[in-house]
Structure 1
């Protein structure tokens, strides 16, 4: 069975976890409706429902095995929930953060890449090198 997934952070092309999308078909870029907020959760972002921000990302067509890999990365259903959104490519899963965002920095504009590329951002100063549960898998970089 094929699924579609909307990615907005470390799964984007060129990001640390993009390799988990091996074999996925890139369908195109997409910006969500303005009903979310994007937060910095350490070395990765998290989308939360409720807000006025459009989230910029990419849509992929994936198989069941890839969906299981992504569920593992996102610690679904404990840390993230999977919800369906409408995209120009059909309905797609988006991972929505379930934890507290109290004290977390908002990524204005909903664009992880722009935030990460900003030379003054916390992330640009070395967050890519940080290894945590989402960027380090059993002793090797993902």
Structure 2
């Protein structure tokens, strides 16, 4: 019998509970909420972008899920892996998890100062 391989992911935008792409996580196991230090989040309209800012005081709020291999591949497609976003591992209270970080210029994006996409505010 083969065991399913599971991967942890940290989601901070449209994949969070109550957001437009959360349905992609229907097979995932929710582990909990957490926050990461040293990141900035920007509002791109229909979804946010997070970038790493080492040494910065910015916080990034999100949720951690345990996903199967098929869901992980679907997330890579959604995020435009390698073109729009890259993946990096981060330490969470639930162990190492992958986070998708934005690769494109943020010329007209608005900073979300509290780092919480679900708050619905970039003010």
- With structure 1 as the length reference, what TM-score do the two structures score? 0.79
More helix by proportion, 1 or 2?
A: 1
Equivalent-residue separation in structure 1 for 2:110 and 2:101 (angstroms): 16
Aligned to 1:129: none
Instruction: Provide, for residues 28-56 of structure 1, a one-character-per-residue CA deviation record: whole Å limited to 9, x for no partner.
Output: 000002x1110011211000111431100
Out of 43, 48, 60, which is 1:45 matched to?
Answer: 48
Gaps (5+ residues) in structure 2? none
Aligned CA RMSD, in angstroms, stands at 1.4
* Residue 31 in structure 1 maps to residue 32 in structure 2: no
Aligned to 1:62: 67
More strand by proportion, 1 or 2?
A: 2
* Residue 85 in structure 1 maps to residue 85 in structure 2: no
Equivalent-residue separation in structure 1 for 2:98 and 2:62 (angstroms): 12
Aligned to 1:95: 100
Equivalent-residue separation in structure 2 for 1:69 and 1:111 (angstroms): 24
User: Equivalent residue of 1:27, what SS?
Assistant: strand
* Residue 109 in structure 1 maps to residue 114 in structure 2: yes
Equivalent-residue separation in structure 1 for 2:16 and 2:33 (angstroms): 10
RCO higher in structure (CA 8 A, sep ≥6):
2
Equivalent-residue separation in structure 1 for 2:23 and 2:65 (angstroms): 13
Gaps (5+ residues) in structure 1? 123-142
4+ residue segments displaced more than 2 Å: none
- With structure 2 as the length reference, what TM-score do the two structures score? 0.90
User: Equivalent residue of 1:9, what SS?
Assistant: coil
Q: CA deviation at 1:102?
A: 1.6
